[in-house]
Amino acid sequence: MSKNSEDIRLRSERVGRTGEQGFTLVEMLVVITIIGLIMGLIGPRVLNYLSESKVKAAKIQMQSFASALDLFNLDAGRYPSGSEGLAALVRRTPGVAAWNGPYLKGGAVPNDPWNHPYIYRAPGEHSAFDIISLGSDGQEGGSGTAADVSLEKLTSASND
C-alpha cells in the first residue's frame, strides 16, 4: 500500500469521527434548565385553563338541569321536592301522574366535573329550586376552583 493511500485513509477516519463528539454535560444541563423554566411558566397557565373548563362544564350541566326541571314543572305542575331530588328527572316518582320523562339523556343524573353529586334543594333560597356543585374540594364554601357553583350565581351573572 502506498503512503498516499494510507494518508487518505487516516484522514477519512478522522473526518468521520469529528461528527461523533456529542454534547457535554454542561450543554445538557443548560438545555434541561431552559426546558424547566419554560414548563414553570407555562404549566400553571395550562392547569388554570383546565380548572376553568371544569367550572364552565358544571355551569352548562346546571343550565341543562334547570331546563329539564322546567319541563318537569310543565308536565307535573310542580318542581321535584327536595326528597325526590334530580332523580325525578330520570325516574318516575310516585304521585306524579303526568310524568313524560326521562327529562335527561342517559337515564342517570350525572355527577359534577369533579365527580361529586350535585345538590338539589327545593324550595331554594333564591328561587323555586337551587342546584349547587361544591367545586373541586367537595365541601361547602371555598375559593377559586374549590368555590361552590350554584344556579343562582349563574342567573345573576347572566343578567348583569
For residues 58 and 65, what is the distance between their CA atoms, to the nearest angstrom?
10
For residues 79 and 22, what is the distance between their CA atoms, to the nearest angstrom?
72
pLDDT tens per residue, range 5-42: 666 666 655 555 555 567 888 989 999 999 998 888 88
pLDDT tens per residue, range 92-150: 888 777 888 788 888 788 888 888 898 898 887 878 888 888 887 777 777 776 777 77
- The CATH number that applies at residue 85 is 3.30.700.10
Domain count, the chain: 1
* Structural domain boundaries, residue 65: 48-159
